[in-house]
Amino acid sequence: MAERETWATRAGFILAAIGSAVGLGNIWRFPFQTAENGGAAFLVVYLVAVLLIGIPALLAEFVIGRRANINAIEAFSKLNRPQWAFIGALGVVGSFWTLSYYSVVGGWVIRFIYATGTGAAFAAPGEYFGTVASGTGAVALHALFMLLTIVIVAFGIERGIELATRLMVPSIVVLLVGLAVYTVTLPGAAGGYDFFLTPDFGAIVANAGTVIPAATGQALFSLSVGFSVMITYASYLGADDNLGADGLTIAVSNAFVGVLAGLVVLPLLFVGGIVPGTESFPAGGGAGAVFIALPTALADLPGPLGQVVGVVFFGTVLIAALSSSISLLEAVVSYLVDNYELPRAPTALGLGSVIFVLGIPSALSLGWLDWFDGIAVTLFLPFAVLLVVLFVGWVMGQEAVDEIRQGTGGVGSLPVVWLWALRTVVLLGIVVVVALNLNDLFLTPNSGYYIVPGPLR
Q: What is the binding site for ligand PHE (CB under 6 A)?
A: 20-21, 23-26, 221-222, 224, 227, 229, 324, 327-328
CB of 322 to ligand PHE, least distance (A): 11
The C-alpha atoms of residue 75 and residue 82 are separated, in whole angstroms, by: 8
CB of 229 to ligand PHE, least distance (A): 4
CB of 29 to ligand PHE, least distance (A): 7
CB of 138 to ligand PHE, least distance (A): 19
The C-alpha atoms of residue 294 and residue 271 are separated, in whole angstroms, by: 9
Which CB atom, from 25 or from 306, has the smaller least distance to ligand PHE? 25
Q: What is the 3-state secondary structure (H, E, C) of the chain?
A: CCCCCCCCCHHHHHHHHHHHHCCHHHHHHHHHHHHHCCCHHHHHHHHHHHHHHHHHHHHHHHHHHHHHCCCCCCHHHHCCCHHHHHHHHHHHHHHHHHHHHHHHHHHHHHHHHHHHHCCCCCCCHHHHHHHHHCCHHHHHHHHHHHHHHHHHHHCCHHHHHHHHHHHHHHHHHHHHHHHHHHHHCCCCCHHHHHHHHCCCHHHHHHCHHHHHHHHHHHHHHHCCCCCCHHHHHHCCCCCCCCHHHHHHHHHHHHHHHHHHHHHHHHHHHHHCCCCCCCCCCCCCCCCCHHHHHHHHHHHCCCCCHHHHHHHHHHHHHHHHHHHHHHHHHHHHHHHHHHHHCCCHHHHHHHHHHHHHHHHHHHHHCHHHHHHHHHHHHHHHHHHHHHHHHHHHHHHHCHHHHHHHHCCCCCCCCHHHHHHHHHHHHHHHHHHHHHHHHHHHHHHCCCCCCCCCCCCCC
Which CB atom, from 25 or from 288, has the smaller least distance to ligand PHE? 25
Which CB atom, from 79 or from 225, has the smaller least distance to ligand PHE? 225
CB of 54 to ligand PHE, least distance (A): 11
Which CB atom, from 271 or from 389, has the smaller least distance to ligand PHE? 389
CB of 74 to ligand PHE, least distance (A): 19
CB of 304 to ligand PHE, least distance (A): 30
Provide the CA 115 distance to its chain's centre, in angstroms: 25
Which CB atom, from 23 or from 267, has the smaller least distance to ligand PHE? 23
Q: Answer whether 389's CB lies under 8 Å from 426's CB.
A: yes
Which CB atom, from 165 or from 222, has the smaller least distance to ligand PHE? 222
Which CB atom, from 189 or from 229, has the smaller least distance to ligand PHE? 229
Which CB atom, from 128 or from 449, has the smaller least distance to ligand PHE? 449
CB of 106 to ligand PHE, least distance (A): 10
- CA dihedral 290→457→226→346, nearest 10 degrees, is -90
Which CB atom, from 189 or from 319, has the smaller least distance to ligand PHE? 319
Provide the CA 419 distance to its chain's centre, in angstroms: 25
CB of 222 to ligand PHE, least distance (A): 4
Closest residue by beta carbon to ligand PHE? 25
CB of 17 to ligand PHE, least distance (A): 10
Which CB atom, from 145 or from 227, has the smaller least distance to ligand PHE? 227
